[in-house]
Amino acid sequence: MASIVIADNSLFMMGSLKYLVEHAGHVVLGTGKDGKDTLDLCKRLKPDLVMLDVFLEGNEGHATIKALLRESPGVQIIAVCPPGDEERAQDVRKLGVSGHIFKPFKLTQITEEITRVSKKARM
């Protein structure tokens, strides 16, 4: 079971992801609607993992990823990418995220990626 912070500026997407993550047996510690919220939550709550929309308020997702990696060492990040946008997924992998999923997401996709990233973190 992982402790997770979810960041997405779409309340619908955030709620959907939260529901699926909790349904998979993980704990959602908090949700952020922008980079500042997400960074504050991570500093305070120390999650194992952050699931972050790469399009937080335009390109804020990239800046938030960089800040999380700098300010919350050890946190794993799963980028939530637009449907089939392999180029965007590769871009955020180069920034240092641990994994990615594509919208629209499915429960199996989410659980497999959380499991894979969590195992990688324990190594």
Q: Which domains, and CATH codes, for the chain?
A: 3-122 (3.40.50.2300)
CB 79 within 8 A of CB 89: yes
Mean per-residue pLDDT of the chain: 92
pLDDT of res. 24: 92
Rounded to 5°, angle at Cα 92 from 53 and 119: 85
Q: pTM for this structure?
A: 0.93
pLDDT digits (tens, 9 = 90+) for 19-70: 999 999 999 999 999 999 999 999 999 999 999 999 887 668 999 999 999 9
Q: DSSP for 55-68, please give it.
A: TTTTTHHHHHHHHH
Distance CA 98, CA 76 (A): 6
Q: Around 18, how many Cα atoms within 13 Å sit in the side-chain half-sphere?
A: 16
Q: For residue 1, is pLDDT > 80?
A: yes
Q: How confident is the model at residue 94 (pLDDT cuts 50, 70, 90)?
A: very high
Q: For residue 123, is pLDDT > 80?
A: no
